[in-house]
Amino acid sequence: MSAPAPSPLAIVDAEPLPRQDEVLTEAALAFVAELHRRFAPRRAELLARRAERRAEIARTSTLDFLPDTAQVREGEWKVAPAPAALNDRRVEITGPTDRKMTINALNSGAKVWLADFEDASAPTWENVVLGQLNLIDAYERRIDFTDARTGKAYALKPAEELATVVMRPRGWHLAERHLRIDGAPASGALVDFGLYFFHNAQRLIDLGKGPYFYLPKTESHLEARLWNEIFVFAQDYVGIPQGTVRATVLIETITAAYEMEEILFELKDHAAGLNAGRWDYLFSIVKNFRDGGEKFVLPDRNAVTMTAPFMRAYTELLVRTCHKRGAHAIGGMAAFIPSRKDAEVNKVAFEKVKADKDREAGDGFDGSWVAHPDLVPIAMASFDAVLGDKPNQKDRLREDVSVAPGELIAIDSLDAKPTYEGLRNAVQVGIRYIEAWLRGLGAVGIFGLMEDAATAEISRSQIWQWINAGVVFEHDGEPVRATAELTRRIAAEELAAIRAEVGEEAFAAGKWQQAHDLLLQVALDADYADFLTLPAYDQLSG
């Protein structure tokens, strides 16, 4: 193992990496240690509160807007105006911070790049540290990349053509085992935020931008309050003006959907907007209402589009909430990966992407996400058609929208049922994604879609829910009940199919059996794991 880092407070427990000393400086580690000491206890309290709230949902099978914060929802206030670099967010591209992706995302033509240390990045120590290094190199314009396989060289375009970076740290639940502070593993969120902020806050100000963040997996306004306290402390620590940090919160948990205004209020001086995702949001619904009976059983994940009534309620409430408070409303992901071989597949998929982005722009969103550079022009055209020369449409207040509490959890308003093929797809995608994740890849192309950890979460959660709800499918004209035995049989068939598809050598070199076993563990265990990534992290090498 490497020698301890110079700071007596933070001990690096990992094999040395190239140029790690540029990231893991004594001063940067001291800052992360100070963040840990001040804020880790509150983090632990809030994680415990999540469990308490989940127990309450299990008891009541319902959620409502908070009576104690009615004055926030009824009050007259707005978030701070957007800085120039974040005023126009009509297309955002997402992806991990490896060297090639860093260059391609910055060059993509998108207004924003979500530089992801969370769901699109498996948290190996190499990904954590070298991802930070790649962002530093990008801001210093000393990043380049040559693909060893193709020989193609990649370099940055002129500064005025580059996307603005909004960095996403890991969620509150994840620890970083390679960095121990006062004997305890550091919070992954504080490591990611701390290293990035310490090294880049002033650099970004000098570039006319700032340290901007996406906050994932938030479950309550109290968690947003903790982030705000961290921002206030961090800005004072490095000596930059309060309000320089800006944060966009992903409303990707069902509990957060009932606290959108409160979340913006807690971050008021640092708030940039809210984002409406899909897979993590559906995962959160299953997690929280998994024992709520048949009316909470979700159909196949691909049947739950953003036009489902309960998803429409969620997205329209988000747009109204953001614009009422002067914040940006950012739409969901277009995950399609264009085919280099099948123009007809692309034509059909591009039409679906266009329809999705047209709907978001028409609903009042100020921007939306894509996962591939080829989709940037399609999404851009949809928003250009609505926005024209305006940077956003926050002036569209959507006062026509009124959402009752029950509408957000009216899962049975969707006319679709789980299917046998949906179960098979969940097993197939789950195994394939987890195998790649265990090898250190967080963004993975599977069956023509860019998948991340949220994909695996909804896949394993649906398997768990269908089995525990006793769902009956029709298969080959016969009724078939979802059971652990059926799931194991499908998983064995899928593993055999993968072995035949990739060949013995590649199968042996991969982590296929391990992925198969882990999927079955988190999909079949009676004790539902809060996050797949917790047991998976224990098996992640590096």
Q: Dihedrals φ, ψ of 78, to 5°? A: -140, 160
Residues 482, 483, 484, 490, CA torsion sign: negative
SS3 94: strand
452 is a catalytic site residue:
yes
d(CA 68, CA 11): 42
Which residue among the candidates 168, 180, 312, 325 is catalytic per the annotation?
168
Q: Is 168 among the residues known to form the active site?
A: yes
The alpha-helical segments, DSSP class H, found in 23-158 are: 26-60, 70-74, 99-106, 125-139
Q: Which long-range contacts (CB under 8 A, 24 or more apart) does 311-316 make?
A: 311/278, 311/281, 313/403, 313/407, 313/408, 313/410, 314/251, 314/257, 314/276, 314/281, 314/408, 315/276, 315/360, 315/363, 315/365, 316/363, 316/398, 316/401, 316/403
CA distance 147 to 522: 36
CB 260 within 8 Å of CB 318: yes
- Tell me if 259 sits within 8 A of 352, measured CB to CB: no
**E strand or H helix that includes residue 212:** strand 212-215
Which residues are identified as catalytic? 168, 452
